[in-house]
Chains A and B, each alone.
Chain A
Amino acid sequence: MKPVQTARYPEEARGALSFGKRFRPHEAVILALLFFCAAVSILTTLGIIVVLGAESSALFKEVSLWEFVSGTSWQPTIGEFGILPLVNATLMTSLAAMLVALPLGLGVAIYLAEYASERVRETLKPILEVLAGVPTVVHGYFALTVVTPALRGLFGQESIEVYNTLSAGLVMGILILPLISSMCEDALSAVPRSLREAAYAMGATKLETSVTIIVPAAFSGIAAAFILGLSRAVGETMIVALAAGAGPNLTLNPLKAAETMTGHIVRISGGDISYDSMDYRSLFAIALVLFLATLALNMVSRSIVKKYREVYE
């Protein structure tokens, strides 16, 4: 039977093989497109910097930078743009959040990484992921309808306001808890097994191994988790918008209402606001502070993580 030749390669038709470089125009176009898509991220960063920078500098023509960073009163209606009350409230809610999330998150991580059996761990981790996936506005709802009334029941209705930074901070701690526990657990699990064995072989109990050997060995990873958690807390918006209060207030009392940077941006931009007003520009100046703060925290966190990866890999 004669083989049936149904198709021939172009080279065969030409009768000679060629190994010269061939230009493939459509692949070049695809390559350019792919690069452009990757470059969108640079455009985004550039956009953020330009937008925030331009609008803020317009504000700083009217308000001196010194006045902005050191002023103790934020009242745009009378031209007072001192960011301290907003920063103070942000720090207070973040601090409360970290006080909840750090010990609990580390506790959860130690339990999952060192104590829990495979099965328990496989059951608990998805639950924590669900907790991490709950939209923040739902956390805000929880803060306002459950935690605040509970706190008021605890401390007395008079001593604690309906809106307060404590309640917002506590719930924010719950929000950040899964992030911290999962990052800490990664850090603990990255500590080589041989260190655990070495500790046990010297007659250490499980607690002594975990707390005095494994946790210090994973310290940089844990620190990175804490810093990233702090950055998340500083940038978190909906919980504070709903529960912390609607009005800048320079106070150190967590039982009083105070507005955070994010809370202020959301409240003002949610109302009717005219473009090119001082109000409008001041929001961008706040956002700039927020952006720089979180960027710095994230970069520190990332560089720490990178360092500890290098130690063990």
Chain B
Amino acid sequence: MSGREDFAVNLASRHARGDRWRLMFMLSTLLAIVFLGALILTIVDDAFGYVVMVDEVDQRSLVPDDERLESLDAEALRAVIDERLSPRRYRAIERERPFDERTAADLYDIVLYEIVKPRVAETYTLFESLFARRSIVEETTLAHPDGELVFRSWVNMRFLSTSQTARPLTTGVLTAVKGSILTISITILFSFPVGIAAAIWLEEYAGDNRLNRFIQVNIYNLAGVPSIIYGMLGLAIFVRGLERFTSGSAFGASTSGEVANGRTILSAGLTLAILILPVIIINAQEAIRAIPGSLRQSSLAVGATKWQTIWHQVLPASFDRILTGAVLAVSRAIGETAPLVVVGASTFLTQDPTGVFSKFTTLPIQIYQWTSRPQAEFRHISAAAIVVLLALMLSLNAFAIFTRNRLRRQKRFG
């Protein structure tokens, strides 16, 4: 009857092939996760680990035999400073802040970094430190007999609370963190209102005509423009074209001796704002689109005007989603590096930013600069800075989720 003989019996090989490919698909998924894991592990691996410290001046030569430098009081530290610090450095530090006003901890730092001058002779990663401790100890005693092997967390309080300095041991991310936060504040201040307003226009008011369709297509296209192009735009428009405003000279802002030109936090923030604007608009549009038409109709039916409907009904109902989308865009902006390099981030700042007209650096810029240095210490501090950057992004997202959930609760009972 039916032509079974026409069909080959091939089921076993078909199933075998299916299982092989299933494995392949699983492996590629696994690989993607392994990449993320490797990324995180590398950072953790580099952010902690043993270092071999070698002091230029032996600490024991500075203090009486049975005491340690850490346990000296302010007076004793002053004595060491008076005795050993070169007159030139002495005057420079005195001018910054008189020695008499400094705390013991402060004085200790001066003794340590101005007189003892510890140097990192060798660094190890976390995994080396954990699994090859013995050989590290052997190596150290052989290669650096006066060296001290200490476990160092490159992310530490000092790192977090110190401004930028030239040396990897003493530098910190404070300057960059302040720069990032100031920059991103400008970005948020500009891009949120403009982006949400544009989304309202496109979703609620825009008729289906050529102009509006062009605006919409244009926004989609802008979302795909490489970030570095926005840097070029910022350089030409904000830094050069609007220099009078972005440098603050139009507002009589004194840049306290620093000539910032237009290469200020304001320019950087505005550049990033323009960069994430399309993403914010698209996300906000989706949020507004998700609001059912019945809500608008019921509001219009009690005699509200269109704007009253949007302001009192549509926006509050969609605000949680708008916020989530916007924060996603902002956390992308925090990690942006290339446009800010182009806009003119400073490679080295002696002073923390004080306002929007200051010269700037940001965390990703610091990471970029430290990563491009060949010395091992810089690799470790860039890992530490990455930890700080990721923590900053994470807390921003956590804050957004928290706020969104609160808004949702209010919505449910309100």
Contacts and interface: CB of A to CB of B under 8 A. Distances in A.
Interface of A: 24, 27, 30-31, 33-35, 37-42, 44-45, 47-48, 51-52, 55, 103-104, 107-108, 110-112, 114-116, 124, 127-128, 130-131, 133-142, 144-146, 174, 177-178, 181, 205-208, 211, 228, 231-232, 234-238, 241-242, 262, 265-266, 269-270, 275, 283-284, 287, 290-291, 294-295, 297-299, 301-302
B305 to A, nearest CB: 6
A177 B338 contact: no
Nearest to B235: A269
Contacts of B371: 137, 140-141, 144-145, 242
Contacts of B202: 38
Nearest to A39: B215
A255 to B, nearest CB: 20
Contacts of B341: 266, 269-270
Contact of B31 (A104, A284, A291): A104
Interface residues on chain B, size class: 35 or more
A177 B281 contact: no
Given A48-B233, A112-B29, A135-B337, A266 B226 contact: no
Interface in B194-239: 194-195, 197-198, 200-202, 205-206, 212, 214-215, 218-222, 224-229, 231-233, 235-237
B368 interface: yes
B98 interface: no
A67 B370 CA distance: 37
Nearest to A283: B232
A288 to B, nearest CB: 9
Contacts of A31: 205, 307
A132 to B, nearest CB: 10
B197 A290 contact: no
Interface of B is mostly: helix
Contacts of B32: 104, 108, 127-128, 131, 174, 177-178, 181
Contacts of A114: 25
10 smallest beta-carbon distances between A and B, as pairs:
A235-B226, A135-B335, A107-B28, A37-B197, A237-B338, A298-B224, A111-B25, A207-B18, A34-B201, A38-B198
Contact of B194 (A40, A235, A262, A287): A40
Among the interface residues B39, B200, B331, which one has the most CB atoms of the partner chain A within 10 A? Answer: B39
A302 B223 CA distance: 12
Contact of B36 (A111, A130, A266, A284): A130
Given A110-B25, A290-B229, 14 more contacts: A31-B205, A37-B195, A41-B219, A107-B24, A111-B28, A127-B36, A128-B32, A137-B364, A137-B368, A145-B379, A174-B32, A207-B21, A237-B337, A294-B225
B17 interface: yes
B228 A262 contact: yes
Contacts of A39: 215
Given A131-B36, A266-B341, A208 B14 contact: yes
Contacts of A299: 221
A113 B43 CA distance: 32
A238 B164 CA distance: 22
B277 A40 contact: yes
Nearest to A52: B232
Interface of B: 14-15, 17-18, 21-22, 24-29, 31-33, 35-36, 38-39, 42-43, 46, 193-195, 197-198, 200-202, 205-206, 212, 214-215, 218-222, 224-229, 231-233, 235-237, 240, 274, 277-278, 281, 305-307, 328, 331-332, 334-338, 341-342, 344-345, 347, 364, 367-368, 371-372, 379, 382-383, 386, 389-390, 393
B41 to A, nearest CB: 9
Nearest to A133: B331
A237 B198 contact: no
Nearest to B11: A205
A37 B201 contact: yes
Contacts of B306: 27
Contacts of B206: 38
Contacts, number: 245
Given A35-B201, A128-B32, A269-B342, A47 B233 contact: yes
A34 B281 CA distance: 12
A9 to B, nearest CB: 10
A237 B43 CA distance: 21
Given A40-B277, A104-B32, A241-B368, A48 B225 contact: yes
Contacts of B193: 37
A260 to B, nearest CB: 11
A40 B194 CA distance: 8
Contacts of A234: 226
Contacts of B28: 103-104, 107-108, 111
B236 A138 contact: no
A47 B306 CA distance: 33
A55 B236 CA distance: 9
Contacts of A110: 25
Contacts of A290: 226, 228-229
Contacts of A55: 236
Given A38-B215, A142-B42, A211-B21, A241 B338 contact: yes
A141 B382 contact: yes
16 contacts: A40-B277, A41-B198, A41-B281, A42-B214, A51-B237, A52-B232, A111-B28, A115-B26, A135-B335, A135-B364, A136-B335, A137-B335, A234-B226, A237-B337, A237-B338, A265-B228
Contacts of B338: 136, 237-238, 241, 262, 266
A141 B32 CA distance: 18
Contacts of B336: 135
A107 B42 contact: no
A5 to B, nearest CB: 19
Contacts of A34: 197-198, 200-201, 205
A286 B181 CA distance: 31
A44 B236 contact: no
Contact of A145 (B27, B42, B231, B335): B42
B197 A231 contact: no
Given A41-B219, A207-B22, A270-B341, A137 B14 contact: no
Contacts of A140: 368, 371
Contacts of A139: 39
Contacts of A112: 29
Contact of A287 (B18, B29, B232, B278): B232
Contacts of B220: 298, 302
